[in-house]
Structure 1
Amino acid sequence: MSLFIDIHVLQTLPPSNPNRDDTGAPKSATFGGVRRMRISSQAIKRATREDFEGKIADSNYGVRTKKIVELVARKISEQRPDLDSRAVELAEMGLKSIGFKLTEPRGAKSEQELKESGFLVFLSAKQIEHVAEALISVADADDPAAAFKELKPRDLVDTNHSIDIALFGRMVAEPNSLNVDAACQVAHAIGVGAVENEYDYYTAVDDEKKRNEDADEGAGMIGTIEFASATVYRYATINVDMLRENLGDDNVADHAIELFIDSFVRSMPTGKITTFANRTLPDAVLVQVRDDQPINMSGAFEDPIVAGSKGYAEPAIARFVEFESELRNLTGLKAVESLAAWTTPRGAKFGQVGKQVRLVDLGGATVEAVRGTR
């Protein structure tokens, strides 16, 4: 029996620009024939992953970088200071043996700059440590390169995945045998109704010029910032079986589930955050543990909500509850467990589709529900 966790979030954003396109405008998408505010999946995943920091041990956290030679060499030097002069040479040898292509850094200003991988590499702290330890073990061999190859070096970076690698996956161009399928999928957040972007025209005053009576009265700087507001629907799903397989430990997988739900629900991309301070909590959240299939319920808003005297959030909540109930009745598909949380009275209708849980307890309650299926 495959097990999935679906997370549905309705969240209201005030005037803001959390995720910009190449022109600086809030990202958008056409859905249901109208333009909606959009927050990209990539931006949401990065915000979620950044929220992990400080909440998990370093050994269960990954790093995405081209500077893998530097990381491995540093670890070698830390564990064997006597190998400091050879650390870079050993690191390069080992990483090339694993299959990573190393090149001179683009725009290098000094010959002292270390080689980099040709693309971003996602490795866990444990994997970096494994590579360093293996290189140390062969450093004094007559032929370190041959001795290292006998250790099956690719296995060193294909076990002990960090929680973020297990959740979000890893794509390696070469060697592609090190790819890790993501146990989590995250949808682009979309507004429940049509969006109209607006512009904030601002001026900045030159303080010194202001003190000079003979100076002109013009502003020191003028500009515009594009922004929008919306109630957005956010969705993510976790393949529990794949997560357990990626991590190789059910207890660590349970911890990853709790971390992801808490961080996904309470974090958001922070574009222009100092300008708009758009730090809101979700209006309502529904988490469903399913043994059939993941179900994205964005279809509830294909017909765009038109804001009236009650705005977008309240009718969106009512629409979602109706859609979920009808989908359940019409398809016969039913979640094993449904948990609901809301932060305002208008979200109380979510009590019709799930058992109420406090927002801060949602991750832990989900883990308990998953354990109940074992």
Structure 2
Amino acid sequence: MNKNFINFHILISHSPSCLNRDDMNMQKSAIFGGKRRVRVSSQSLKRTMRKSPYYEQYLGEATIRTKHLSDLKKVLLQRLQERFDPALITKTLTLLAGKDLNAEVAVEGDAVAPWAVEEIAWFCEQVKRAEELKLDDKALAKQLKEQAEAMRRALAGGLDIALSGRMATSGLMSELGKVDGALAVAHVITTHSVDADIDWFTAVDDLQELGSGHLDTQEFSSGVFYRYASLNIAQLQANLGNAPREKALEVASHVLHLMATVIPSAKQQSFAAHNLADLAMVSFSDIPVSLANAFEEPVKAAPGFIKPSVRALLEYWQAVHTGYGLDEKCAQFALGHEPPKGIAKKDTLEKLKSWVIANGEG
């Protein structure tokens, strides 16, 4: 029987860095197991994924996320000018947003919403057809509701909406555009407690004879991070207009690649922590299962953190798998770490991706 959830478990060691900062310019952190862990927010990781060259190559253009509708209108008029009349584009966006497109600033309290150019192009087609049939806005809305599946297929041009979901509170989008996300992404945390360092740095001014041109401090640290995400296959299929399972599995293979390779860009010109995953594990299961509790008791260095983190993850997987009688199909790719019984070994990330595409077979 096909399993509905795909769990992604990633361990990645980052050299000294500051990948995600708060409003005080300090590293984001969390208390877990009573100890401070360095954290990378799920929002930061998801944005890094959808803005990556890999995403653009294999999953398409990322959506435009904004609440500045006047600026969005300018982009759409430029992007769709060869396909639709400017007045039609403006009318379509006005109907979808239910807001004043001429406002120079966003309305206070408005949320940043994702807008997919090709989805809006699909709506332009429907509005154009409605004008030809002389339908009013109410009749148009009724007609659009009857085309839910076709509308969802248009989300293939804005796949991150199908993955992460969308909430809308006004206009036609509030009735037609709400999407339950298929991909749940956890905040990334270190497997061990972290005592951060403070870098006191200067910027030397070549034309200043004495002292420096700038003095400041920057918090940074290093550590092994656990990344976890869960993909609801049936939800992704529904979000894409009842796409076949094969399409969802193809998308899942690319999610795996992104989870194992992308890195937030913050302060990377100063730290260059361009590290790839040491372990990537994938399981097909009936329920989403995080393995974060493998690190509820912080891992101790022995002497480094990678090997004990891998060991803790695999031991906890075995305990949960056995204790709950989970009927999973599981495989892993790891750099120099052998999997326990029940987890298929894949020698490369590409082979693990192929295993995902093959529905956990082979």
Q: What band does the TM-score fall into relative to the shorter chain?
A: 0.7 to 0.9
1:38 deviates by 0.9
Structure 2 match to 1:231: 224
- 2:325 equivalent to 1:327: no
1:93 deviates by 2.5
Q: Secondary structure at the match of 1:268?
A: coil
- 1:353 and 1:77 map into 2 onto residues whose CA distance is 55
**Kept in 2: contact 1:231–1:312 (CA 8 A):** yes
1:150 deviates by 6.9
- 2:123 equivalent to 1:131: yes
1:269 deviates by 1.3
- Larger deviation, residues 279-288 vs 168-177: 168-177
- Of the three residues 159, 162, 167, the one matched with 2:163 is 167
Structure 2 match to 1:70: 74
Deviation per residue, 1:89-115 (Å, 9 max, x gap): 43333233345323543459xxxxxx9
Q: Secondary structure at the match of 2:332?
A: strand
Structure 1 match to 2:58: 56
- Of the three residues 257, 266, 271, the one matched with 2:261 is 266
Structure 2 match to 1:182: 181
* RMSD of aligned residue pairs (Cα, Å): 2.9
**Which amino acid letter does the alignment assign opposite residue 274 of structure 1?**
Q
Do the aligned partners of residues 340 and 351 (structure 1) sit closer, same or farther apart at CA in structure 2, a change above 3 Å counting?
A: farther
**Kept in 2: contact 1:6–1:295 (CA 8 A):** yes
How high is the TM-score relative to the length of structure 1? 0.83
Do the aligned partners of residues 353 and 313 (structure 1) sit closer, same or farther apart at CA in structure 2, a change above 3 Å counting?
A: farther
- 2:188 and 2:151 map into 1 onto residues whose CA distance is 33
Structure 1 match to 2:288: 294
- 2:185 and 2:133 map into 1 onto residues whose CA distance is 49
Q: Secondary structure at the match of 1:194?
A: coil
**Kept in 2: contact 1:338–1:354 (CA 8 A):** yes
Do the aligned partners of residues 56 and 315 (structure 1) sit closer, same or farther apart at CA in structure 2, a change above 3 Å counting?
A: closer
Structure 2 match to 1:112: none
Do the aligned partners of residues 190 and 159 (structure 1) sit closer, same or farther apart at CA in structure 2, a change above 3 Å counting?
A: same
How high is the TM-score relative to the length of structure 2? 0.85
Counterparts of 1:1-374 in structure 2, within 5 Å, are: 3-51=4-52, 52-56=54-58, 58=60, 61-66=62-67, 67=69, 68-74=72-78, 76-80=80-84, 83=85, 87=86, 89-98=87-96, 100-107=98-105, 118-137=110-129, 149=140, 152-153=143-144, 155=147, 158-161=152-155, 162-174=158-170, 175-177=173-175, 178-209=177-208, 215=209, 217-247=210-240, 248-250=242-244, 251-290=246-285, 292-308=286-302, 310-335=303-328, 337-343=329-335, 345=336, 348-350=337-339, 352-357=341-346, 358-370=348-360
- 1:61 and 1:99 map into 2 onto residues whose CA distance is 19
Do the aligned partners of residues 173 and 146 (structure 1) sit closer, same or farther apart at CA in structure 2, a change above 3 Å counting?
A: closer
**Kept in 2: contact 1:75–1:129 (CA 8 A):** no
**Stretches of structure 2 lacking an aligned partner (at least 5 in a row):** none
**Identity rate, percent:** 27
Do the aligned partners of residues 305 and 37 (structure 1) sit closer, same or farther apart at CA in structure 2, a change above 3 Å counting?
A: same
Do the aligned partners of residues 181 and 57 (structure 1) sit closer, same or farther apart at CA in structure 2, a change above 3 Å counting?
A: closer
Deviation per residue, 1:323-352 (Å, 9 max, x gap): 1112222221131x2111112x2xx13354
Larger-gyration structure (1/2): 1
- 2:355 and 2:166 map into 1 onto residues whose CA distance is 29
- Larger deviation, residues 318-327 vs 129-138: 129-138
Do the aligned partners of residues 76 and 327 (structure 1) sit closer, same or farther apart at CA in structure 2, a change above 3 Å counting?
A: closer
- 1:322 and 1:137 map into 2 onto residues whose CA distance is 59
**Which amino acid letter does the alignment assign opposite residue 130 of structure 1?**
W
**Stretches of structure 1 lacking an aligned partner (at least 5 in a row):** 109-114, 210-214
Aligned residues: 346
- 2:133 and 2:312 map into 1 onto residues whose CA distance is 71
Q: Secondary structure at the match of 2:359?
A: helix
- 1:118 and 1:331 map into 2 onto residues whose CA distance is 44
**Which amino acid letter does the alignment assign opposite residue 273 of structure 2?**
N
Do the aligned partners of residues 20 and 242 (structure 1) sit closer, same or farther apart at CA in structure 2, a change above 3 Å counting?
A: same
1:71 deviates by 4.3
- 2:29 and 2:279 map into 1 onto residues whose CA distance is 23
1:317 deviates by 1.1
